[in-house]
Structure 1
Amino acid sequence: MSETYPPITEHLDDVETAREEGRRKMDWALQHMPILEALREEFEADKPLDGQRIAMAMHVEAKTANLVELLALGGAEVAITGCNPLSTHDDVSAALDTHDNITSYAVRGVDEEGYYDALRATLAFDPTITVDDGMDLVYLVHEEYPDLIDTIVGGAEETTTGVHRLRAMDEEGELKYPVFAVNDTPMKRLFDNVHGTGESSLATIAMTTNLSWAGKNVVVGGYGYCGKGVAKKASGQNANVIVAEVDSRRALEAHMEGYDVMPMAEAAEVGDVFITTTGNRDVITEEHFEVMQDGVLLANAGHFDIEINLDELDDLAVDRYEARDGVEAYEMEDGRRLNVIAEGRLVNLAAPISLGHPVEVMDQSFGVQAVCVREMVENGDAYDAGVHDVPDDLDREVAEIKLEAEGIEFDSLSEEQREYMGSWAHGT
């Protein structure tokens, strides 16, 4: 246990009630997570992670908690904290901390100092594996705890922003241990990024505001996998979707999908709802705020709270007030009100009533995380320092567990087909 930062149980007044409610949430989610259920049986029987110490920084809610418990059942000692100051569910964090092999430092609403102190507390366990959502743990290891690098076997990164940071680090030769880019594997990006982000972001905004999507001009900043999901789901709820992109091919793809495509400066004049999905900073800035209509909604479905430049918005505002739980209104000098949801943080996890991605979606993503941790423990010597794609057989293993659980059968190639596809000699 860290001597500098206390676990969740020391932050709560009624620990037992919190634990009971957190466990109830975890049990509900696990009923709908057949991949993790199957892996629990394997991990509990085989103990593939025996003797490992895992430091985790993730969104600590019920679905994540089932992944954490799976790793502990596999024999690991786990220390976890949040990867966003507003995405932790304190009751779930408290429920996790009851397990003998799990210590949770995740607390909702911590300030910046507390956030980083909690990250450091997980590293005080001298981890052999890191599991990240955003790369903050990997960064701290390299910047403040380089002595840990020699004993860390490897890591896994959950999200787009974290993988971008890792690849930049790797290109500069600064990443000193192997990390799986979980975000980039098909079982993650095709489902979590598209369906998960799309469904959870729109559902959270609708519940937070009690407003309809029908007939609204919804501006999506970025048309990567997350942006595609938001655009698709908004269109399905009868919104008019506008895409703002910086990549010519993605802009063309959005156009061919039937969406309006225009620069953010033009979209700012006509949009009713703005949702950023880029993982980059300053997607919406002062020049856009100045021309927005009264009553617009501003939300971030990317990662860090830098996509909407709130410092510039604050400078323009003559007043700020809570318009609704989870919605802060910035009143401009001319009387316009621009409404920011969840403080510009990850809207599907940071809003007061947010629940994150659907359970079934995260079952797939966390199944990939679990088998990646198992692979790193069993075959870590096969991976050099740097970013690594998830081995295709692991991704397929998770897909096949899901299909079996759903009672879905699928075809396989015949030997003749395999030979044909693997040969360059066949012509007409």
Structure 2
Amino acid sequence: MDLSDSGERQISWAARSMPVLTAIGERFAVERPLEGLRIAACLHVTAETAVLMGTLKAAGAEIALAASNPLSTQDDVAEALRAYGIAVHARAGVDLATYYRHIHQALDLGPDLVLDDGCDLVNILHTERTDLLAGVSGGCEETTTGIIRLRQMAAEKALTFPVVAVNDTRTKRMFDNRYGTGQSTLDGIMRATNIMLAGRTVVVAGFGFCGRGVAERAKGLGARVIVTEIDAVKALDATLQGYEVCPMERAATVGDLFITVTGNRDVIRAEHLAAMKDGAILANAGHFDVEIDVRALDELAHEVRRGVRPNTDEYVLPGGRKLLLLAEGRLVNLTAAEGHPAAVMDMSFSAHALAVEWLARERAQLAPGVYDVPEDIDHEVARLKLAATGIGIDVLTGEQQAYLHSWRAGS
């Protein structure tokens, strides 16, 4: 019970900064748009996620929740959710086999809808639990890595139900990916290392919305920032914003801190590790622990000193050179810190909740594939967030509306 009480306090604290999702939950409790639906979710089990789970339960759904990362689960929050009547299959620090077993246990619910963060649950549905596919009529995906995998599934005609790309809304990319990832990634790095960023060379691999946010925050703290990219347009964007852009091969020789934010694997490989300076720090802010080749790092090192600081392992290479790996190469912001602030997740999970409501209503008319969140939901989330913070905006006059919808008016 002590664990449950601690989790409830965390959830209540998060809810203070989530007024939009709270308001949606109040409406859901009256209208019950998910009445009778079973939802299997694979998300980070944090206090903010708990507020989303409570919102969907208030809407009438029966929920089973598994963790989307073995190291991000907050055990007291999981216990509080169980006390609230939500089946949670998650525990902090489990091995990979147990992680997948938990996902299978969530799927044992026999879901009508699924919520995913990284596409692991959807992948298991389509490979190992195909007996459940006929009952699943839709899903939502929370993160960039998952959307990449889902779009490939759709391109190969492997995806059997419609999935809403919650990650791809304008509010999610701007608020969550850019500002949330930027702040929480550096928060995790500084908690794990207590280093000063000013004057250091920080290499950011990937200049999507997440990478842009990380680069901005590092630059704002006084770091010299180098960006590596495979996309010419993003590389040009980084260049025009004043960042140095070069291949990882060159960046590896000068960086003090490396942060991967790409959604791809082997971004930092053996040849890069071999070129890094003594004391270089490696951190990953991409969803899966494949961006830094940890296996290659293990093979290069002749000694590994675990836990030189919390969430920091020191790898001693031949000749005495040392590299520091944070959070075992997993999501540093959710392993070494607490993830995004609740105010950030308020917008992301509000879009998620409204997307689930829309999907429950429209799923019968949707063919299998990946769908964008309807634009009116994105605008509604932004409007509610502004209203909750007391910010007003202008409204078009009748003449302005007519001007925007007419081609006859000249200059």
**1:49 and 2:34 are equivalent in the alignment:** yes
**1:181 and 2:183 are equivalent in the alignment:** no
Q: Distance in 2 between matches of 1:390 and 1:325?
A: 39
Name the aligned partner's letter for residue 417 of structure 1. Q
Query: Counterpart in 1 of 2:310?
Result: 325
Query: Counterpart in 2 of 1:412?
Result: 395
**1:71 and 2:71 are equivalent in the alignment:** no
Q: Which whole-Å deviations, capped at 9, do the CAs of 1:288-343 have from their partners, x for residues lacking one?
A: 11111111110000110000001111111111012212101111101110000000
Query: Counterpart in 1 of 2:249?
Result: 265
**1:162 and 2:146 are equivalent in the alignment:** yes
User: TM-score, normalised on structure 1?
Assistant: 0.94
Q: Gapped runs of 5+ residues in structure 1? A: 1-15
**1:21 and 2:6 are equivalent in the alignment:** yes
Q: Gapped runs of 5+ residues in structure 2? A: none
Query: Counterpart in 1 of 2:283?
Result: 299
Task: Find the residue that maps to 2:258 and give its secondary structure.
Answer: strand
Query: Counterpart in 2 of 1:92?
Result: 77
Displacement after TM superposition at 1:145 (Å): 2.1
Q: Which whole-Å deviations, capped at 9, do the CAs of 1:9-40 have from their partners, x for residues lacking one?
A: xxxxxxx1110100000000101111111011
**1:205 and 2:189 are equivalent in the alignment:** yes
Q: Distance in 1 between matches of 2:380 and 2:156?
A: 33
How many equivalent residue pairs?
A: 410
Q: Distance in 1 between matches of 2:105 and 2:205?
A: 35
**1:37 and 2:22 are equivalent in the alignment:** yes
Name the aligned partner's letter for residue 115 of structure 1. Y
Displacement after TM superposition at 1:426 (Å): 4.0
**1:357 and 2:337 are equivalent in the alignment:** no
Q: Which whole-Å deviations, capped at 9, do the CAs of 1:220-252 have from their partners, x for residues lacking one?
A: 000000000000000000010000011111111
**1:232 and 2:216 are equivalent in the alignment:** yes
CA contact (8 A) 2:188 2:335 kept: no
Displacement after TM superposition at 1:418 (Å): 2.6
**1:400 and 2:392 are equivalent in the alignment:** no
Name the aligned partner's letter for residue 331 of structure 2. L
Query: Counterpart in 2 of 1:59?
Result: 44
Q: Distance in 1 between matches of 2:408 and 2:294?
A: 60
Q: Distance in 1 between matches of 2:113 and 2:169?
A: 20
Query: Counterpart in 1 of 2:114?
Result: 130
Name the aligned partner's letter for residue 220 of structure 1. V
Name the aligned partner's letter for residue 371 of structure 1. L
Name the aligned partner's letter for residue 398 of structure 1. V
**1:390 and 2:373 are equivalent in the alignment:** yes
Q: Distance in 1 between matches of 2:17 and 2:297?
A: 41
Q: Distance in 1 between matches of 2:406 and 2:254?
A: 54
Task: Find the residue that maps to 1:387 and give its secondary structure.
Answer: strand
Query: Counterpart in 1 of 2:354?
Result: 371
Q: Distance in 1 between matches of 2:371 and 2:83?
A: 34
Task: Find the residue that maps to 2:297 and give its secondary structure.
Answer: helix
Q: After alignment, is 213-222 or 397-406 more displaced?
A: 397-406
Name the aligned partner's letter for residue 389 of structure 1. D
User: TM-score, normalised on structure 2?
Assistant: 0.98
Name the aligned partner's letter for residue 185 of structure 1. T
Q: Distance in 2 between matches of 1:293 and 1:343?
A: 20
Displacement after TM superposition at 1:425 (Å): 4.1
| Change over 3 Å in CA distance of 1:425–1:383 after alignment to 2 | farther
Q: Which whole-Å deviations, capped at 9, do the CAs of 1:31-74 have from their partners, x for residues lacking one?
A: 11111110111011111111010000011010111101111111
Displacement after TM superposition at 1:384 (Å): 1.5
Name the aligned partner's letter for residue 354 of structure 2. V
Name the aligned partner's letter for residue 408 of structure 1. I
Name the aligned partner's letter for residue 25 of structure 1. Q
State how 1:86-125 maps to structure 2 within 5 Å: 86-100=71-85, 102-125=86-109
Displacement after TM superposition at 1:421 (Å): 2.3
Q: After alignment, is 339-348 or 314-323 more displaced?
A: 314-323
Q: Distance in 1 between matches of 2:269 and 2:124?
A: 29
Task: Find the residue that maps to 1:81 and give its secondary structure.
Answer: strand
Displacement after TM superposition at 1:208 (Å): 1.2
Displacement after TM superposition at 1:383 (Å): 1.9
Q: Distance in 2 between matches of 1:312 and 1:424?
A: 61
Task: Find the residue that maps to 1:270 and give its secondary structure.
Answer: coil
**1:149 and 2:111 are equivalent in the alignment:** no
Name the aligned partner's letter for residue 164 of structure 1. I
Task: Find the residue that maps to 1:334 and give its secondary structure.
Answer: helix
Task: Find the residue that maps to 2:114 and give its secondary structure.
Answer: strand
Displacement after TM superposition at 1:424 (Å): 3.9
Task: Find the residue that maps to 2:314 and give its secondary structure.
Answer: strand
